[in-house]
A and B are shown apart, each in its own frame.
Chain A
């Protein structure tokens, strides 16, 4: 049992519903999966609220009556400065509450996944060799592994997370899957002004296992910028690679039949405004609208790379080692010039180590993990390594409609509204399993309980903006992300909030929930404008989903840690093929961009390698 008093207070538990009694235990389970600093912070905040209750009413929250708890919360809510902190405290409680209150429908039968050769690291020998080692099995790593395996190389893919099958998704609650599939239990955050929640996946398939399945091709103007401004010449021919990737992961426009009310309302609102909008293109043929993309598709419809790309790599001999955290890249320094990659040192979950020797190391650990890995390997000398971080800051609002919307029934991310895309704003109708939205319901106690009970009438829109590279990845052993929102991007976020509200009001919303703690509701656009006129971006609930650019490729050796062909500078035999190699913000959901770039880099490597018989590695 964790914080039963706080849970009872926040959820206004009067003992008349059985699910509320199960929430503290569920919360405890969830907290145990979080990293120690986050867990400690939440427990400290809980203790502080309890201490306040003692000062206020003479007893901790657990010892108070419902009315007394309500009075304590009201007293706290009267202090506006505390509202953001209380909103943060609500997030884990709402996650646990949603899991108990709205159990996800059990998926009785799940299709059998294509075969993969996954070996736990504890069963992998301490010494081994390969022609190529791929660090990370996400979008970039999977494509690199498939390309190299198809070329006849003996490929080993190293994945820190575990392999989760579609059938296993159907057996577990969304919250269990959430803690298992995300790094740090989903509590990864970027420190800065304002702080951002930055969840990234950690499993065989990487973040593609937990993304929304939205597939945008890299916009032409972005490709043009990468090619002309950054000298990333592979971008010039990326269109053909995008075609191949789209075929591989079976991208198609989402049919309307399972779109869900949330998406249909977004379409209706945009149509009324005359804005460009439509169902998103997704890699989920046969999607059944389970709305669980972010915790692993339980029907196997979403073609994450562990279902689409990695099986093909496996068919060509690639093997995957799970539970394998790469400590560093091994370097041979006994030659003139830069060192040469010789393999990797891997740490197993039990603390033991294994090594794999390979003349080629493909780094695809993700934009947040690649810089620390390179630093641990003695390859962090480039001054721009870890910098140039773009994250697509995002915010969301909800609109209350007279009729039930039941946003968690239908496609999770269903409709894209591209009217403001030229201004760097992309609106996407994004629902989520109950409690898992980045949108936080307003209120405390009885008010929050009322919102919970009325949540099925809420439609949720999200917007992400093309941001300036204002972030930086620090750290060697652990990743520390620093991100300070650029003022221009702050204005974009506020513009995005207003645009989403316009869509919701146009679709018939009675009110919008702004997510701003001190002004949570607006009944008209004018009322919202008044709220926004005194609101800064830091007052919004912000999150981010697409970290890119921390080991950017480019022609300028001073500015780009990786060369224009994706080879890391200052070493032979290291390719970077994850989102970190993108030269700048892709301005759309990036999985196609990452995969096409990985394909281009590895194919270019193979072509160069075959034309240079003396060069066995980069």
Chain B
């Protein structure tokens, strides 16, 4: 199911009480609906934005509701709460849509102001057609609305030669310790019974990285996530033990699912493997004991991810970077093990969530470019690897550093028994530069992460 988001700016005048001067008012609103906007029905959306009343109010955290029903109810109703000079005011008004005056009725918003339910003012807002229509229309987005839980269910159908992974990486904001929980189900290629195994690792900013494995354990095909022995990874909960490690965490999704690979490849496993995040960002609470210390986590940022496929890549690099303010960068650069594909340079799947948008818009864009031209490029090495690329108007450079002393090296095994080696750091550094073309390249945003990036490089 898809939602709807758009932004709208309106200008007008307001009079707060009789005898008071007429003041200018401006609303910069962002509307977010959980359903697709259908003009012939009624859609409700959440409003956030900034309310400015000259000389009285400038509230950047206004919130409210929007009822969009231009045909069914012939009404688009705004209810917005904001603060003005310490007073909590509510704006309540609606556009009355009529076919006799389609433009005027869709652009003029008379409203009344209330304080504690009492009327304290009234005014009129207008949508500026000349300057506002194009940004308004171009600002419409219809993001998918999905429950993270549905992506946690096991996907294996019992076919041999498959591997499926639930992994979680997070950073304790108090100590700076990186944590990695890896849960994996392998269905061997030789047709033997599937088994579950995994490990937990801790990456203290100072000192030696620690890890411990659990399993192998029999796999009983649960329906809600990973459950094997005493280890579980299900919606909202991560518990288990491995060696001296003990953990009991709750997970709170903070963002929509993010498909690192094309969505279709997760739905239909046509690629050798696919990767996605049930929630692009999540926060974690609970306890984590690494055999030496017990960490008490409170709102620790991180994310859980899912992998499903035939095995590990020939070479790969992975990055999950929580950039703050809701921005997330997820990168996978990989070389396939398939005979023809192994000769290609790394395919880069890069997804940057930033200011409510995803760059690039389609996951295929960074991997294959436009008909093969303009694909993103990755230089995979250690301790530093980079990814660069550009879309039509934006350019991105990602540089990841995995210091040796903060990197854990582990052996992997494919379902057919082939070995691989991964170099993982949950306390990596990253530099991200986002530029926009505006006559020349101008910096749009830069992020520098010290010890909070989660990264991995793998090789054979």
Chain A residues near B (Cβ < 8 Å): 125-129, 330, 332-334, 342, 345, 355, 357
Contacts and interface: CB of A to CB of B under 8 A. Distances in A.
6 contacts: A125-B110, A125-B122, A126-B93, A127-B94, A355-B96, A357-B94
A345 B96 contact: yes
A127 B72 contact: no
A333 B71 CA distance: 9
A486 B390 CA distance: 88
Nearest to B69: A334
B460 interface: no
Most chain A CB within 10 A, of B73, B92, B111, B122, is at: B73
Contacts of B42: 332, 334
B73 A127 contact: no
9 closest cross-chain pairs (CB), A and B: A334-B72, A126-B110, A125-B122, A125-B112, A127-B93, A334-B42, A332-B73, A127-B110, A127-B112
A365 to B, nearest CB: 21
A126 B122 contact: yes
Contacts of B413: none
Contacts of B73: 330, 332-334, 342
Given A334-B42, A345-B96, A355-B94, A125 B119 contact: yes
B252 interface: no
Contacts of A129: 92
Nearest to A340: B73
B346 to A, nearest CB: 52
The bracket for how many chain B residues form the interface is: 10 to 19
Contacts of A330: 73-75
Interface string B64-78: 000001001111000
Most chain B CB within 10 A, of A125, A330, A357, is at: A125
Contacts of B124: 126
A127 B77 CA distance: 10
B361 interface: no
Interface in B15-71: 41-42, 69
Contacts of A334: 41-42, 69, 72-73
Interface of B: 41-42, 69, 72-75, 92-94, 96, 110-112, 119, 122, 124
Contacts of B75: 330, 342
Say whether chain B's binding surface is mostly helix, strand, loop, or mixed.
strand
B38 to A, nearest CB: 10
B406 to A, nearest CB: 58
A127 B41 contact: no
B15 to A, nearest CB: 10
Given A126-B124, A330-B73, A330-B74, 7 more contacts: A125-B110, A125-B119, A125-B122, A127-B94, A332-B42, A332-B69, A342-B75
Contacts of B111: 127
Contacts of A128: 112, 119
A127 B125 CA distance: 12
B136 to A, nearest CB: 22
Nearest to A353: B96
A539 B348 CA distance: 99
Nearest to A342: B73
A428 to B, nearest CB: 47
A263 B261 CA distance: 98
A334 B44 CA distance: 13
A333 B92 contact: no
B344 to A, nearest CB: 53
Contacts of A345: 96
A129 B92 CA distance: 9
Contact of B92 (A127, A332, A342): A127
A125 B16 CA distance: 12
Contacts of B74: 330
Most chain B CB within 10 A, of A125, A127, A330, A355, is at: A127
A122 B110 CA distance: 14
A510 to B, nearest CB: 64
A31 B172 CA distance: 87
Contacts of B112: 125-128
A127 B41 CA distance: 22
A345 B97 CA distance: 12
A614 to B, nearest CB: 19
Contacts of B69: 332, 334
B255 to A, nearest CB: 31
B16 to A, nearest CB: 12
A129 B74 CA distance: 16
Most chain B CB within 10 A, of A126, A128, A345, is at: A126
A608 B41 CA distance: 30
A333 B72 CA distance: 5
A119 to B, nearest CB: 11
A129 B122 CA distance: 13
A126 B15 CA distance: 13
A466 to B, nearest CB: 44
A332 B111 CA distance: 20
A525 B94 CA distance: 69
B22 to A, nearest CB: 14
Nearest to B113: A125
A357 B76 CA distance: 13
A345 B111 CA distance: 15
B100 to A, nearest CB: 12
Contacts of A355: 94, 96
A332 B110 contact: no
B122 A332 contact: no
Contacts of A127: 92-94, 110-112, 122
A62 B74 CA distance: 59
Nearest to B18: A123
A333 B94 CA distance: 17
A561 to B, nearest CB: 24
Contacts of A357: 94
A127 B113 CA distance: 10
A126 B109 CA distance: 10
A324 to B, nearest CB: 16
A128 to B, nearest CB: 6
A355 B92 CA distance: 12
Nearest to B78: A127
Nearest to B119: A125
A156 to B, nearest CB: 12
A308 B244 CA distance: 85
B368 to A, nearest CB: 44
A129 B111 CA distance: 11
Contacts of B122: 125-127
A127 B95 CA distance: 10
A189 to B, nearest CB: 32
A153 to B, nearest CB: 14
B139 to A, nearest CB: 25
A357 B69 CA distance: 14
Contacts of A342: 73, 75
Contacts of A126: 93, 110, 112, 122, 124
A357 B124 CA distance: 17
A128 B111 CA distance: 8
B93 to A, nearest CB: 5
Contact of A332 (B72, B93, B94, B119): B72
A233 B112 CA distance: 42
A134 to B, nearest CB: 19
Nearest to A354: B110
Contacts of A333: 72-73
A125 B111 CA distance: 8
Nearest to B95: A127
B48 to A, nearest CB: 22
A563 to B, nearest CB: 24
Contacts of B93: 126-127
Contacts of B96: 345, 355
